[in-house]
Structure 1
Amino acid sequence: MLTHPKANRLVWGLTGLLTLFVSVVGIGEPDIYTGIVAPAIIPGAYSQDLISAAAAIILLCLSLAWRSNQPKPQVVAIGLLGYLFYAYGIYVIERAYNGLYLVYMAIFTLSFWALIFAGATFRKETRAVALPRTLRLASAAGALLQPLIFYPLWIAMLLPLMRTGEQIDSLYSIFILDLCFIMPAFLILSVLTFRSHKVGLIFLPALYILGFTLIFSLAVGEIVKPLFGVALSPSALWPAVLLSMLFLVLGTLHLQRLTIAMQGLPTQPDASANDSNRVSKFREQP
């Protein structure tokens, strides 16, 4: 699916190594966040380090096991890079000025340009991409639901700040990242998926992976609160669990049933022998 495998593998591997380093430090020494983030947010930083460590390990494995005729693992890698862009974008924008801040900036930069490079090296020879119609509509609707919910929600929270000129001390990065990057991505890929466009069909699961890792991190943050002397809040836990599971289910089903055929390459080996017929059949559906 992507060309220039050496360059892509290099940036994925470097991003994964840096992420593994800082996340392990954060897991082992949560005190590095003391004084730079609000005490109530430290459990969230700890849970983010847990999820980031897992994401880094998976990304490293994918960089080492690259196969040009297996596009689905590449979609997973792109989703994990999107998560790291968001997660470390929070640290960079929120000015988490501890001893690891320059590494946070490096991960934020590498993940962003890795996504740009993946888009630039997307194989134009992709011949056919297909998804069953019902699943395509469900996946597109699930993606469209996100901007329909979060645009009004975040804007409603911003309007009072805009009227008073108040500058909040933390989590303002969420408004920037969601409204400027993530919600537009959900909206664009949802429309493209509704229209059976190959870019939407291929890259929407990556956005679901980003959403799952990010929201599941919030759920884990609630679960680990007692370790930091803070009471768990069920009203915050269950919405995060349910939304992350929605992302996981839609992303998994979409990726499993997605069929990709490329010019000059056989249909991906994890597909059945009838994939070529399935591609033609799905393309003929309205």
Structure 2
Amino acid sequence: MLTHLTLHRSLWAITGVLTLVAAAAGLWRPAVYGGVVGEELIPGAFSQDLLSVAAALGLLYLAITAHGGRVKRQIVALGLLGFLFYAYGIYVIERAYNELYLAYMAVFTLALWALVCAGAHLRRDLPQPSLPKAVRLVSASGAMLQPLVFYPLWIGMLLPLMRTGEQIDSLYSIFILDLCFIMPAFLILAVLSYRSHGIGLLLLPAIHVLGFTLIFSLAVGELVKPLFDAVPNPSAFWTDLGLSMLFLVLGTLHLTTMRINATRTVPVSEDSGAVEADTWA
């Protein structure tokens, strides 16, 4: 799927190592968030670090194994990068100025530019991916649900702030990241998949991976609240768990049923990303 695969695997590995250091430090000493994160948000930061450690280990594994024709592993790596872009974008935008802030900026930057490079290095001669029609429609509809829900929700919350000029002290990063980056990605890939466009079919599972990790982090955040003398919200937990499982099911279903119509063979070169077409499925 990607050309210059050695470059991408190197970026994944570096991002994974830096994430592992930053997230493990937060887990080892949650007090690092004291004074820069609201006390009520520390359970969420802790759960995000847990998921970030898992994502970092996943990226390191994929950096080692996602070679040759293992296209689906490359797709999962892009989804994990999207999660790290979002997770560390929160810390960067919210000005979490602790001793790890430069590491947060590094992960945020690496994840962003690794995704940009992936877009620039998508193979232009990939055979057309295919999905059963029912899976394609279900997968695209699950992705479309997000902008349909969150655009009205977040804009509805922004309008009163715009009328009064009030500047909120925390979580304003969510508006920026969701409205400017994540929801457009869901929308574009969903529309492309509805139209059976190859890029949409190929990359839609990555957005499901991102959705799963983000929302599952919120569910875990409810579970760890007692560690910080806070009371879990059962309604929020079950809602977040259900939505994260929806993303997990959609992504798994999409990846396991997606096939590449291998109509020809191209030269094998790991660094260029070219492999025998019949191994891409």
Fold match (TM-score > 0.5): yes
* Distance (Å, rounded) in 2 between the aligned partners of 1:68 and 1:207: 22
Q: Residue 127 of structure 1 aligns to a residue in which SS?
A: coil
Per mean C-alpha deviation after superposition, the further-off stretch among 155-164 and 63-72 is 63-72
Aligned to 2:135: 135
Match of 1:182 in 2: 182
Structure 1 residue 212 corresponds to structure 2 residue 212: yes
Question: Partner residue of 2:260?
Answer: 260
- Does structure 2 conserve the Cα–Cα contact (< 8 Å) formed by 1:143 and 1:187? yes
| Identical pairs, percent | 62
3-state DSSP of counterpart to 1:166: coil
Preserved CA contact (<8 Å) 2:130 2:261: no
Q: Kindly state the Cα deviation for residue 125 of structure 1 after the two structures are TM-superposed.
A: 1.4
Is it true that 1:11 corresponds to 2:22 in the alignment?
A: no
Deviates more, 1:59-68 or 1:215-224: 59-68
Letter in 2 for 1:86: Y
**1:81 aligned residue:** 81
2:131–2:257 Cα contact (<8 Å) kept: yes
- 1:163 maps to what in 2? 163
Total equivalences in the alignment: 270
**Equivalent residues of 1:43, 1:224 under 8 A apart:** yes
Q: 1:261, 1:268 within 8 Å by CA — same for their partners in 2?
A: no
Return the alpha-carbon distance in structure 2 between the equivalents of residues 116 and 159 of structure 1: 31
Distance 2:85 2:279 in 1: 28
Q: Which stretch shifts more, 18-27 or 255-264?
A: 255-264
Aligned partner of residue 126 in structure 1, secondary structure: coil
- Aligned 1:241-252 pairs, distance under 5 A: 241-252=241-252
User: Is the contact between residue 2 and residue 68 of structure 1 (CA under 8 Å) also seen in structure 2?
Assistant: no
Indicate the RMSD between aligned Cα atoms, in angstroms.
1.0
Pair 1:27-2:27 in alignment: yes
Q: What pairs with 1:81-120 in structure 2 (closer than 5 Å)?
A: 81-120=81-120
| Distance in 2 between residues matched to 1:132 and 1:6, nearest whole Å | 32
1:260 shift after superposition = 2.1
Answer whether contact 1:44 1:221 (CA < 8 A) is retained: yes
Give the whole-Å Cα distance in 1 for the aligned partners of 2:13 and 2:261: 26
CA contact (8 A) 1:16 1:57 kept: yes
The whole-number CA distance in structure 2 between the counterparts of 1:81 and 1:55 is 8
Structure 1 length normalisation: TM-score?
0.93
Equivalents in 2 of 1:210, 1:128: separation in Å? 24
Give the letter aligned to residue 229 of structure 1.
D
State the TM-score, normalized to the length of structure 2.
0.94
In structure 2, C-alpha distance between the alignment counterparts of 1:99 and 1:261, rounded to whole Å: 50
1:68 positional shift:
2.0
What one-letter code is carried by the residue in structure 2 that aligns with 1:39? E
Which segments of structure 1 move beyond 3 Å, counting only runs of 4 or more?
A: none
Q: Which residue of 1 is the match for residue 200 of structure 2? A: 200
Match of 1:278 in 2: none
Question: Aligned partners of 1:136, 1:81: CA distance in 2, in Å?
Answer: 23
Once the two structures are superposed, what CA deviation does each residue of 1:153-209 show, in whole Å capped at 9, x if it has no partner?
A: 000000111111111110000000000001111110000000000110010100000
**Residue 126 of structure 1, CA deviation:** 0.3
Q: Contact conserved, 2:78 with 2:115, CA < 8 A, in 1?
A: yes
Partner of 1:121: 121
Change (3 A) 1:261 1:60: farther
Distance in 1 between the 2:44 and 2:220 partners? Answer: 8
Is 2:195 the counterpart of 1:191? no
How far 1:65 moved relative to its partner? 1.2
